[in-house]
């Protein structure tokens, strides 16, 4: 390397600093070293793969342009990752927490352990940028079977996936909720895969837990800014299992990210096991923002849909195991028996496959009965929502839902309110404090009192008991 090279490099850094500002420059470029210049190629190195890919996907052109304005003969830049050996030879650097370096500990290619799955062909630098373990290649729109319970969610997901950069987003956020194993993750990953294939938008898939963990460790390592920038540089932010997002500072950060994304017209997609307003641990403002886009519920899988999913699964398995064949009556039997969720359907096919591979026997009904016996569960009680309870109770007693939530204490409101709280306690898994919050911010002792009161009454008052049974049926059917 010549002194001219060094001088040019110093000026390139100065340009970058001036153009990008101190924050971005120090987050991404402070640790870039010049390795050399050969003919038209500039070689630079960074300490981590994450940093390399991030710079490549976000700043490659700008860095090149800065070089070209110093030296017009430059046509290419190359970034490499400095080896760990070299780094450990530099004790001065090892002493202080070095944000991007620490991020590598234990999980190479992951940003603070955050599992970010980014659009861009798998294995490409863009994908590695945020260090994702790969998406499950089976979870695409092609393998997603559409039926009555998921038509709307699937259509919305496809719409989101088909939107190009610069086009207005139609629903923001898109919020999909459903019970376990009903295809939320499948749809979210489909959106991410479609983003990969379509090309022009960066789609980032991460679970709320990873968001939380990633942000918490970024704060600890004082790389919060880099983390925020990483997340905000994304066109489509896909967050799975939203119900697991917890903690004040993560929430604040999430809220910020959410608002920034939506306000900038960037797509946000969320999945959760419950509707936005039932995300008890979240701040009111976040909940209402989440509820402000398109909220779609996916219902349980109907028998037809289950059968189609099974057929698709078997067809997929046959690609690798040509001899594997499941007669239609067996599929119909499994579809009938396994009502619970998609995961168990997958489990059933896997067992049939394993059995037929190991024994070489053809798949028969008897074998299926034996193999899937323990996957058959009693019919799952329907997920009942507090909102629905309030609606049904209000209708029953001819009062408004806001009466139920109000502080009015007249008898015609107090009893229905107690009934509604009682139903909330018996039909949902919500805690007493949660229920209190959903009933106009009441104390948990008030809820407990209501529950006890109604429990006492139904033992003696058959009319009330019947009324309550009727409402339970309405809610559970
Ligand atoms: P969730 O995230 O809602 O808990 P998943 O998306 O993980 O559920 O789905 C569980 C399993 O069921 C996966 O193997 C998934 O591929 C399958 N599955 C669910 N719904 C469908 C569907 N409509 N078509 C095909 N497979 C499905
Ligand atoms: Mg899931």
pLDDT greater at residue 279 or residue 157: 157
Instruction: Please state, as a whole number, how many other Cβ atoms lie within 10 Å of the Cβ of residue 450.
Output: 25
Q: Is residue 152 exposed (0-12), middle (13-18) or buried (19+ Cβ within 10 Å)?
A: middle
Neighbours of ion ligand 2 (CB under 5 A): 184-185
Q: Do the bridges between strand 174-177 and strand 267-272 make them parallel or antiparallel, or are there none, so unpaired?
A: parallel
Strands (E), 7-66: 33-38, 41-46
State pLDDT tens for residues 400-449: 999 999 999 998 999 999 999 999 999 988 889 999 999 999 999 999 99
Spacing, Cα 383 to ligand 2 middle (Å) = 17
Band (pLDDT 50/70/90 cuts) for residue 24 is: confident
**Is it the case that residue 211 has pLDDT exceeding 90?**
no
Q: Nearest CA to 419 among 467, 475, 387?
A: 467
Band (pLDDT 50/70/90 cuts) for residue 227 is: confident
Reported residue count of the chain is 477
- Does residue 173 have a cis peptide bond before it, meaning omega lies within 30 degrees of 0? yes
Q: Is 418 in the pocket of ligand 1 (CB under 6 A)?
A: no
DSSP string, 237-294: EEEE-GGG---HHHHHHHHHHHHHHHHTT-EEEEEESS-GGG-TTS-HHHHHHHHTSE
Band (pLDDT 50/70/90 cuts) for residue 114 is: very low
Structure token pair of residue 92 = 């001065």
pLDDT greater at residue 87 or residue 285: 285
Specify the ligand 1 atom closest to the Cα of 342: 12
According to the model, what pLDDT value does residue 307 have? 95
Residues forming beta bridges with residue 196, ordered by sequence position: none
Q: From the CA of 150, which ligand is nearest?
A: 1
Q: Is 185 in the pocket of ligand 1 (CB under 6 A)?
A: yes
According to the model, what pLDDT value does residue 467 have? 93
Q: Is 273 in the pocket of ligand 1 (CB under 6 A)?
A: no
Q: Nearest CA to 30 among 43, 41, 46?
A: 46
Residue from 153, 154, 183 to probe ligand 1 pocket by mutation (most atoms less than 8 Å from CB): 183
Specify the ligand 1 atom closest to the Cα of 187: 6
Q: Give the N- to C-terminal CA distance of the chain in Å, as an integer.
A: 76
- Determine what percent of the chain is predicted with pLDDT higher than 70: 86
DSSP string, 340-357: S-HHHHHHHHHHHHHHHH
**Is it the case that residue 133 has pLDDT exceeding 60?**
no
Using CA atoms, how far apart are residues 246 and 272, in angstroms rounded to an integer? 13
DSSP string, 72-103: TT--EEEEEEPPHHHHHT-HHHHHS--HHHHT
Q: Is 313 in the pocket of ligand 1 (CB under 6 A)?
A: no
Contact predicate 31/100, CB 8 Å: yes
pTM over 0.75: no
pLDDT greater at residue 105 or residue 235: 235
- Determine what percent of the chain is predicted with pLDDT higher than 90: 44
Spacing, Cα 168 to ligand 1 middle (Å) = 29
Using CA atoms, how far apart are residues 326 and 115, in angstroms rounded to an integer? 37
According to the model, what pLDDT value does residue 97 have? 31
What residue owns the CA closest to ligand 1's atom 12? Answer: 342
Band (pLDDT 50/70/90 cuts) for residue 129 is: very low
**Is it the case that residue 50 has pLDDT exceeding 70?**
no
Residue from 176, 179, 186, 298 to probe ligand 1 pocket by mutation (most atoms less than 8 Å from CB): 186
What residue owns the CA closest to ligand 1's atom 26? Answer: 144
Task: Report the chain's mean pLDDT, rounded to a whole number.
Answer: 82
Q: From the CA of 183, which ligand is nearest?
A: 1
For 138-150, what is the mean pLDDT?
Answer: 93
Residues with Cβ < 8 Å from 175, sequence gap 6 or more? 269, 270, 271, 272, 275, 276, 290, 291, 293, 294, 295, 296
Query: Which helix (DSSP H) or strand (DSSP E) does residue 176 occupy?
Result: strand 174-177
Band (pLDDT 50/70/90 cuts) for residue 117 is: very low
Q: Is 430 in the pocket of ligand 1 (CB under 6 A)?
A: no
According to the model, what pLDDT value does residue 104 have? 31
State pLDDT tens for residues 337-384: 888 788 889 999 999 998 888 888 889 888 888 888 877 766 555 678
**Is it the case that residue 148 has pLDDT exceeding 70?**
yes
Using CA atoms, how far apart are residues 102 and 223, in angstroms rounded to an integer? 10
């Amino acid at each position: 390397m010549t002194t001219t090279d060094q001088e040019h490099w110093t000026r390139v850094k100065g340009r970058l600093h001036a153009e990008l500002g101190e924050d971005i420059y120090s987050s991404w470029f402070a640790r870039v070293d010049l390795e050399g210049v050969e003919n038209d190629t500039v070689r630079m190195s960074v300490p981590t793969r994450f940093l390399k890919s991030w710079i490549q996907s976000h700043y490659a052109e700008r860095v090149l342009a800065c070089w070209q304005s110093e030296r017009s003969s430059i046509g290419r830049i190359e970034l490499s990752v400095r080896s760990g050996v070299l780094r450990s030879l530099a004790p001065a650097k090892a002493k202080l927490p070095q944000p991007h370096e620490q991020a590598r500990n234990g999980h190479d290619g992951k940003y603070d352990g955050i599992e970010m799955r980014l659009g861009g062909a798998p294995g490409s630098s863009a994908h590695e940028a945020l260090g994702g373990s790969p998406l499950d290649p089976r979870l695409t729109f092609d393998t997603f079977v559409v039926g009555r319970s998921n038509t709307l969610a699937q259509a919305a997901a496809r719409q989101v996936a088909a939107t190009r950069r610069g086009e207005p987003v139609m629903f923001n956020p898109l919020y999909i909720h459903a019970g376990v194993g009903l295809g939320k993750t499948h749809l979210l990953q489909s959106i991410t895969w479609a983003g990969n294939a379509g090309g022009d938008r960066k789609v980032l898939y991460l679970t709320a837990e990873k968001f939380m963990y990633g942000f918490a460790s970024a704060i600890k390592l004082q790389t919060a800014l880099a983390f925020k920038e990483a997340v905000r540089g994304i066109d489509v932010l896909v967050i799975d299992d939203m119900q697991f997002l917890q903690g004040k500072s993560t929430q604040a950060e999430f809220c910020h990210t959410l608002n920034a994304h939506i306000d900038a017209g960037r797509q946000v997609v969320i999945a959760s096991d419950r509707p936005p307003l039932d995300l008890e641990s979240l701040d009111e403002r976040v909940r209402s923002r989440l509820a402000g886009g398109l909220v779609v519920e996916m219902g349980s899988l109907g028998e037809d849909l289950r059968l189609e999913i099974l057929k698709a699964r078997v067809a997929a398995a046959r690609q690798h195991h040509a001899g594997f064949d499941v007669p239609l009556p067996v599929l119909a039997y499994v579809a009938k028996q396994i009502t619970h969720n998609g995961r168990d359907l997958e489990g059933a096919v896997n067992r049939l496959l394993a059995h037929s591979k190991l024994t070489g026997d053809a798949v028969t009904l008897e074998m299926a009965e034996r193999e899937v016996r323990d996957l058959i569960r009693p019919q799952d009680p329907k997920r009942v929502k507090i909102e629905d309870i309030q609606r049904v109770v209000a209708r029953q007693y001819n009062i408004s839902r806001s009466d139920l939530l109000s502080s009015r204490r007249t008898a015609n409101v107090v009893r229905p309110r107690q009934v509604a709280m009682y139903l909330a306690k018996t039909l949902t898994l919500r805690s007493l404090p949660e229920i209190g919050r959903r009933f106009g911010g009441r104390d948990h002792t008030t809820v407990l009192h209501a529950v006890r009161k109604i429990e006492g009454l139904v033992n003696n008052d058959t009319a009330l008991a019947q009324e309550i049974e009727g409402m339970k049926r309405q809610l559970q059917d």
